[in-house]
Amino acid sequence: MDKAKNKRIMLANVLIMLLTVMLMADIASAQIAQFPQITVTLINQEPDPVAPGNVVEVKFRVENEGSDSSQDMQVKLLTKFPFSMYGVENEIQNIGTVAGYQIGDDGVKVKWNLLVDSNAATGDNEIEFWYKSKDGVWTKSGDYVISVQSREAVLAINQIKTDQENIVPGTVTKVSFMLENLADNTLRDINLNLDIYTELTTTTSITFRELPFTPIGSGNEKTLKMLAPGQSEEISFDLFTDATAESKVHKVPYTLTYYDDAGNDFSREGVVGLLIEGKPELSVNIESTEIYRSGAKGVVEFKLVNKGFSDINFLDLILLESNDFKILSNPEVYIGSLDSDDYETAEYTLLVSKDAEDKVVLPLKVEYRDANGHLYTKEIPLELKLFSGSELKQRTNGSGFPWGLVIIIIILIAIIAWIIYKRKNNKKKKE
């Protein structure tokens, strides 16, 4: 009986102690609830994320979960790099009295405009929110995260260069692209594609446009795995230029694609101009002549051949006169265009001086422009050989000087003179 009674007494004591603890907790809770309980929440940032060099608006909600009011409240933001107050914005704001149980949408909203430093790195950056009530001390409610991210991960093409100033048909040229990461985060899977062979779709058919370049040792696409912030890297292509490539600036489209650390993909398109400039090679010689001796008059024909890769435009010839001959035709002959691997002819009528000996130099001046407009001027001395004696007969198929014709003419003159003489004689006899 005593043991059972003791157990009942012990159980009663435990129950009394539990009830006492619960009562004291309720009393403490009630006492605490009588004081202000301030809670601060970051509602949002606009824009989210914000780009370096821009202004971001941060908006907070201040709530009072206690029963008593918080009188004459002040709130402030403490900023550090990369944030600063924008313009005339004050870091301390007065929000007045926050009543007890003023929570949720009834809470007091407060906002600041912050300037983000242009050198801010991509990532999360913190600001501090503090508050105090009348006659109170400043209390830190917490650290709040503001997200910063570059508006665009910029991968710059600082330079495009070739290892030869002018690309010559039939040769290999190295074309290099210098890339620089201007973003504040690592760029990945950088891909550069040269569109030297493009499919064109029309309403009726599919055609292909092929530029006169062929990659050597690789394809028309190259990749860099990654490029750190501020780092530069070169991507180069070895391109063979077709021997028949037209001399002009060929526009080669390219596409650059890459990803930033956040997985955002970027794509840029552009055009690089590659100047093909094969120099024209103009060859001039005497194609035919009617003049083989001094004192003769006849036509001399020049042949002009373009042996170069580039077409010739505005081709003009001027034959300069000398003491050894006279020009009986127009000294200037305009040819115009002369395509690569083609020829034209020009004729001059000349009278060679009787004092000329075994040759006459014909000073020919030529002016022309290549396919890219560069002007060329050349003076070409051409030798017109003169002959006499047996060599002259060989050149004129044995005719040489026309002595037979001279003899015939002399005989005819003699006959005519004899006839005239006879007639005059007969007339005198009759008289």
Q: Tell me what pLDDT residue 356 has.
A: 86
Domain boundaries, position 261: 155-275
Identify the domain boundary among 131, 148, 165.
148
Q: Is the same domain home to 338 and 376?
A: yes
Confidence tier at 32 by pLDDT (50, 70, 90): very low
Residue 428 lies in a domain: no
CB 58 within 8 A of CB 49: no
**Contact by Cβ (8 Å): 317, 346:** yes
Give the mean pLDDT of the chain: 85
d(CA 404, CA 410): 10
Looking up residue 209, the CATH number of its domain turns out to be: 2.60.40.10
Q: How far is Cα 383 from Cα 364, in angstroms, rounded to an integer?
A: 10
Q: What is the mean pLDDT of residues 240-269?
A: 87
Q: Are residues 18 and 110 in the same domain?
A: no
Sheet bearing 108-116, strands edge to edge: 38-46, 55-64, 108-116, 83-85
Say if CB 378 and CB 282 are below 8 A apart: yes
* Residues 97 and 132 grouped into a single domain: yes
Residues 189 and 225 in one domain: yes
Higher-confidence position of 164 and 41 = 41
> Which of 12-16, 121-125, 211-215 is most confident?
211-215
> Are 114 and 141 within one domain?
yes
Q: Which of 94, 48, 46 is nearest to 70 (CA)?
A: 94
- Average of per-residue pLDDT across 341-361: 91
Beta bridge partners of 216: none
pTM value is: 0.53
Tell me which of 248, 275, 302 is where a domain ends: 275
Do 367 and 332 fall into the same domain?
A: yes
* pLDDT at site 340: 84
Q: Which of the four pLDDT bands, split at 50, 70 and 90, describes residue 284? A: very high
Domain presence at residue 425: no
- Angle at CA 310, nearest 5°, toward 309 and 314? 150
Domain end point (choices 275, 302, 331): 275
Distance CA 330, CA 365 (A): 14
Instruction: Check whether residue 165 and residue 127 sit in a common domain.
Output: no
Q: Are residues 261 and 307 both part of a single domain?
A: no
Q: Are residues 185 and 233 in the same domain?
A: yes
* Residue 234 belongs to a domain: yes
pLDDT of residue 164: 84
User: Is 88 inside a domain boundary?
Assistant: yes
Instruction: Tell me the C-alpha distance between 131 and 141, whole Å.
Output: 7
Q: What is the pLDDT of residues 73-132, one digit of tens each?
A: 999 999 999 999 998 888 999 999 999 999 999 999 999 999 999 888 778 899 999 999
Q: Are residues 166 and 210 in the same domain?
A: yes
Poorest-pLDDT segment among 64-68, 127-131, 200-204: 200-204
| pLDDT score for 120 | 84
Do 28 and 52 belong together in one domain?
no
* C-alpha dist (Å) from residue 30 to 67, 75, 429: 10, 27, 180
Structural domain count, the chain: 4
Phi/psi of residue 396, nearest 5 degrees = -105, 25
What is the band of 26 on the pLDDT scale with cuts at 50, 70, 90?
low
Banded pLDDT at 29 (limits 50, 70, 90): low
| CA pair distance 180, 230, nearest whole angstrom | 7
- Give the per-residue pLDDT at 184: 76
Domain membership of residue 423 (yes or no) is: no
Q: Is residue 427 part of a domain?
A: no
Q: Which of 202-211, 367-376, 411-420 has the highest mean predicted lDDT (pLDDT)?
A: 367-376
365 located within any domain: yes
Question: pLDDT band at 286, cuts 50/70/90?
Answer: very high
* Per-residue confidence (pLDDT) for residue 227, from 0 to 100: 92
Same domain for 131 and 46, yes or no, is yes
Mean pLDDT of 265-276: 89
Q: What is the pLDDT of residue 199?
A: 56
For residue 248, the model assigns a pLDDT of 85
In a domain, 412, yes or no: no
**What integer pLDDT is reported at residue 275 of this predicted model?**
87
Q: Which two tokens stand for residue 3?
A: 């043991």
The winner for highest mean pLDDT among 150-154, 173-177, 257-261 is: 173-177
Mean pLDDT computed over 220-240: 92
Residue with tokens 């077709």, as numbered in its chain: 242
As a whole number of angstroms, the distance between CA 130 and CA 261 comes to 34
292: nearest Cα among 417, 394, 415: 394
* 110-124, 138-152, 192-206, 268-282: least confident range: 192-206
Task: Tell me how far apart the alpha carbons of residues 260 and 407 are, in angstroms, rounded to a whole number.
Answer: 103
